[in-house]
Amino acid sequence: MIIYGTIATSVEKKTAVESKKEYVEFRLAENWGKEETKTTTWYTVRAFINEVSADLLGRGVSVCVEGKLKDSAYLNKEGKPTTSLVVLAFKCEPSDRKNSSSNQA
């Protein structure tokens, strides 16, 4: 899947527990539609550092993310089961495209 969106949070560097590989994680906002009917889809993006230049990424940067979509189940702060959409990114790079009007799967 390919997503064009805007990084909405700071880009955090993390280390995978099992593999010990470093990766970055951030929240991505993908906007759809015209101003009066605009819809936003939120994703958590995880990308390995050797596949992305973390120095080029930051809050407010428009990016193109290519990866595999996965749902992640967890308990929220209130202890209720919740799911989140996570993109395991193969490619993540800055883009001059501001909004997404099409999504390729």
Position 101 confidence tier, pLDDT thresholds 50, 70, 90: very low
Predicted pLDDT of residue 98:
60
Which residue shows structure tokens 């290519």?
66
24: containing domain: 2-94
* Single pTM value for the model: 0.75
Position 82 in a domain: yes
Range 9-26 average pLDDT: 88
Q: Please report, for the domain that includes residue 69, its CATH number.
A: 2.40.50.140
Summarize pLDDT for 46-59 with one digit per residue, the tens.
Answer: 988 665 566 678 89
> Is 100 inside a domain boundary?
no
Specify the pLDDT at position 51: 57
Q: Which amino acid is at 90?
A: F
Query: What value does the mean pLDDT of the chain take?
Result: 83
Q: Report how many domains make up the chain.
A: 1
The answer to whether residue 11 is domain-embedded is yes
Q: Quick check: is 36 in a domain?
A: yes
- Quick check: is 58 in a domain? yes
Q: Does some domain include residue 99?
A: no
Determine the Cα angle at 52 with ends 94 and 100, to 5°: 35
